[in-house]
Amino acid sequence: MAYLSLMFTDSPIARIDTAIKIGGAPLDEGQVYGAVVDAATVSFADASAVTFTPENDDWYTLSDHWEARMDDPSHYFQGVANVELPGTSPQLNMILCHSGWGDGFYPIIESYDAEGNVNGIHIDLQVLGDIPHEEK
């Protein structure tokens, strides 16, 4: 998988660019927004899901927990999961996938339609193109 993508519309992508402003001031030249990864997994989640804290921490005992779903080739395809968070009403979910090179930093890319509107956001897992530099 090269990108984890969330499309807002079905309009065709006319161009892509690194995300330059997400909820705040634009970044300085040379800086990019991105996802810092630990546990070799990236995800998209609704804002309500981000603040959700389960009542107990025994989620690993559930037969359909996110890690089991990601490794199940019959759930979409291996390495990807759409997981409902237990104990939430209405049901909240997260979309997860393995990150391209494991832990690290992955740039966020925006896609635009022909009118210049953002129609998607993508986490670039850096499996296409040059191999990312190792941390020093």
Say if CB 85 and CB 43 are below 8 A apart.
no
pLDDT digits (tens, 9 = 90+) for 50-74: 777 666 666 666 656 777 788 888 8
* Residue spans per domain, the chain: 1-40+101-130, 42-98
Tokens of 90: 């209405």
pLDDT digits (tens, 9 = 90+) for 104-129: 999 999 999 999 999 999 999 988 87
Question: Among candidates 87, 98, 18, which has minimal Cα distance to 58?
Answer: 87
pTM check: above 0.95: no
